[in-house]
Structure 1
Amino acid sequence: MPTLKKNFFYSFFLTTSSYLMSLVVFPYVSRTLGPTDLGLASFAVGTVGCFTLLATMGINTLGIREIARCRESKEELNNTYSSLFTLSLIFSFLAVIGFTITSLLIPSLKSHPSLILLGAVCIVAQISLIEWLYKGLENFRSITIRGIIIKILYVIAIFLLVKSPDDSIMYFALIVATYCINSIANITYARHFVKFSLKNIQLRKWLNSYFSLGSHTVLAAIYTTFNLMFLGIVTNETQVGYYTVSVKVFCIILGTISAFTYVLMPRMSALLADNKHDEFISHLKHAIDSMIVITIPAAIAGIIFSPQIVSIISGNDYTQAIIPMRILMPLVFLIGYEQIMLLQIMTPLNKDKYILYNCITIAIISIILNFCLVGKYGAIGSALVWLICEICLIIISQIQASRLIGLKFPFKSVLVTISACIPGTVLSLFIMNLPTNIWLNTCLSIIFFILTYSYTQLFIFRNGTFRNLIITLANIRHKHHSKDAECH
């Protein structure tokens, strides 16, 4: 079985490479298409995303958990895979019908039939990715290699084929193509591990978990895809373009945290299945401490450097994305902590109903806030909706986690980490205001922020978790150089 360290770095490398490629592509696309045409493509992506998530529901979380539990039994593994894949295909068919009807009622999509056709294909392709199978088997290496190759081809295609604002549909088509190629490759390679059969499938057995676990996925979609769709309906494509830029950079940082939580989930489920409760708690505490020392400085740095980040990525036409981005940055920590509670506590403990009730409550709050804030404040309103809802979810989930396993909110660790960021924040703001080149100031500010934060954690607070992370990274680098030396 692959180690957690290897799994995390495969997942981290795939997620990070995906967002790094976005950092290469998105500045070019946002400048080439402009806010309005970028908003049109993003609106199409958001609408497709809504129906894709209604189709997939809890398949990713449920699939990882159940595949991890039965991976030692070939027959049970085949039956579970066949049942879950069939269930997702049925819902994808319903989602395509719903998407087509809805698109014909929205003027901006109705006037572009090709977007509707591409969207329908995209829904089926995303359902067929079956990455939950590989993650449940802890085979992160396969999806990482395939994913990176396909993303490199996507980047090349963007620069060759997207040349003007009229190419917004081509941009969307290339996004759809990446899903199609990836899904075909994943399904083909899956035959090495499982055999699909309709003989012993059990659909009714998984329906409750499919919907209850899916509620968390739908909740996340309300902030990203539904917010994007609602923003486009009540405002215009330009506001969608601003919101897209503000979310893009935020999601790069968030993707790193998601890589960590999804790597741990199959291992946590297996520990509980083997009644290893003490080891489960140990992994959980380590995950929380590691998440805190990474996400809080990342969030604070994102707030400080938002103007420079937006300018680098999208240019001066997107200055209105700065405030939404700053509003979103605290979510790096909030969502990291929330994912640990939902994916590493509730899900392995089979508390699916808790997740369902929480998500229904927050979904209602989100819809109310969308109607109250988005029409008036546009992209800023959408960002505020996301932030307020995540705070509410954290409070509810924390109360439940305390009752289930006695988990208390890590106030001390949070305060220590925030305190460790203060010297770097003050120094960075001072450097940023020096009357010299702004980009030189930005680079120096980032460097001094990282160095000051690291020094404070290591030598003033003597943070053991932070020290262990540094040692781990150093060991990985040492092993990498050792292997290179052996090859030469």
Structure 2
Amino acid sequence: YIRARKMVHIRFRFRFDWNKHLKSIMILFASSIAIQIYVNSGITILGFMKDTYTVGLYSVSSKIYTIVKNGLAAILIVTIPRLSMLWGKNLVREYKTLFKDIFNGLLLVMFPSMVGLIMLSKQVVLIISGEEYISAVSSLRILCLALICSIISWIFNDGVLIPTKREKYALYSTIISAILNIIASFLLIGRWGQDAAALAVLIAEAAGMIMNIYWSRDIIKLKDILETHFGAIIGCIIIIVECALVNRYISGNIISTIVAIIVSVLTYTIMLIIFKDRFSQTFLNRLKFRQ
């Protein structure tokens, strides 16, 4: 507050135009409510149609998925004010450049995270919840696939639709995704249990991603921002091989997980450097400049 007073004049106002902001606020509020329904519907429907053990299995995989998702989304959240500022000042070229960097940077982090979590899902479940929840591994792997759709959808929602004042499209996307999630859950859970709840999330996240990309197409075209990351592709393949070898030859859930993460991070980084990925080259150039 003290620092802000040096740049702006802060005072209380008791008369202001509610109509100017109320519509956007209510749309964002409705989106938030829809997201909560969407996130919790799977567990709720599981509770109606299955037993508490099945709910517990899905809760384990869902919590792990949420932790990884929020960790990746934290990278995006801190950039939203910058994107909004650039768009608000009509600096469209700078806005698109920053969006492209954020999008591709998240892809470079997201794909190895997804691949690694799929390969180490058994160890992660055992470490967090124990042997009795080992059946949660399959639903966790399905949710790992949903992670891709979720993060890309989040990028276009918070990076394009919200800064450009297209909140209504964000609301439409959320409501439709929530409806799809609920319908898919009712249709599939009776047969496949917690795996069906995870599949319903994948379907909903994929639908939300497609809608957000579609409603952003006149501002950001996916083909214009998507880069070919050969180093990342090769790196992910190597991660699969390394994690498979670790799972086979190293016993102990904690030790094998730590070894797999360290080796995977190192080899993935090396692949980015060998294939001269733009982000790795930028990072190396900055290190050279500082030296």
Q: Structure 2 length as normaliser, TM-score?
A: 0.85
Structure-2 separation of matches of 1:240 and 1:203: 43
Residue of structure 2 equivalent to 1:220: 35
Residue of structure 1 equivalent to 2:277: 463
Q: 1:234 and 1:203, CA in 2 relative to 1: closer, same or farther beyond 3 A?
A: farther
Residue of structure 2 equivalent to 1:372: 187
Write the mapping of 1:79-478 to structure 2, written as runs, cut at 5 A: 199-200=14-15, 202-408=17-223, 412-413=227-228, 417-434=232-249, 436-439=250-253, 440-459=255-274, 461-468=275-282
Q: Which sections of structure 2, spanning at least 5 residues, go unmatched?
A: 1-6
Secondary structure of 1:247's partner?
A: helix
Structure-2 separation of matches of 1:419 and 1:248: 29
Q: 1:294 and 1:466, CA in 2 relative to 1: closer, same or farther beyond 3 A?
A: farther
Secondary structure of 1:403's partner?
A: coil
Structure-2 separation of matches of 1:376 and 1:203: 49
Q: 1:376 and 1:471, CA in 2 relative to 1: closer, same or farther beyond 3 A?
A: farther
Q: How far did residue 258 of structure 1 move?
A: 2.1
Structure-1 separation of matches of 2:129 and 2:148: 25
Q: Which sections of structure 1, spanning at least 5 residues, go unmatched?
A: 1-70, 80-198, 479-488
Structure-1 separation of matches of 2:204 and 2:284: 34
Residues 127-161 of structure 1 deviation map (CA, whole Å, 9 limit, x = unaligned): xxxxxxxxxxxxxxxxxxxxxxxxxxxxxxxxxxx
Residues 402-437 of structure 1 deviation map (CA, whole Å, 9 limit, x = unaligned): 223334376543665233210221132123212x52
Structure-1 separation of matches of 2:49 and 2:256: 39
Q: How far did residue 399 of structure 1 move?
A: 2.0
Point out the more displaced range, 322-331 or 398-407: 398-407
Equivalenced residues, count: 282
Q: How far did residue 252 of structure 1 move?
A: 1.9
Structure-1 separation of matches of 2:102 and 2:47: 37
Structure-1 separation of matches of 2:234 and 2:151: 19
Q: How far did residue 450 of structure 1 move?
A: 1.7
Structure-1 separation of matches of 2:94 and 2:81: 14
Residues 414-470 of structure 1 deviation map (CA, whole Å, 9 limit, x = unaligned): 665233210221132123212x524444433332222221111111x2112144457
Tell me if 1:74 matches 2:10: yes
Residues 224-248 of structure 1 deviation map (CA, whole Å, 9 limit, x = unaligned): 2232223223323322221121122
Residues 155-206 of structure 1 deviation map (CA, whole Å, 9 limit, x = unaligned): xxxxxxxxxxxxxxxxxxxxxxxxxxxxxxxxxxxxxxxxxxxx32554443
Residues 363-382 of structure 1 deviation map (CA, whole Å, 9 limit, x = unaligned): 22222112112233222111
Larger relative contact order (Cα-Cα within 8 Å, sequence gap ≥ 6): 2
Q: 1:455 and 1:306, CA in 2 relative to 1: closer, same or farther beyond 3 A?
A: same
Q: How far did residue 330 of structure 1 move?
A: 2.2
Q: How far did residue 311 of structure 1 move?
A: 0.4
Q: How far did residue 276 of structure 1 move?
A: 1.7
Q: 1:441 and 1:268, CA in 2 relative to 1: closer, same or farther beyond 3 A?
A: closer
Residue of structure 1 equivalent to 2:4: none
Fraction of identical pairs, as percent: 26
Structure-2 separation of matches of 1:471 and 1:300: 28
Are the equivalent residues in 1 in contact too, given 2:232–2:271 (CA < 8 A)? no
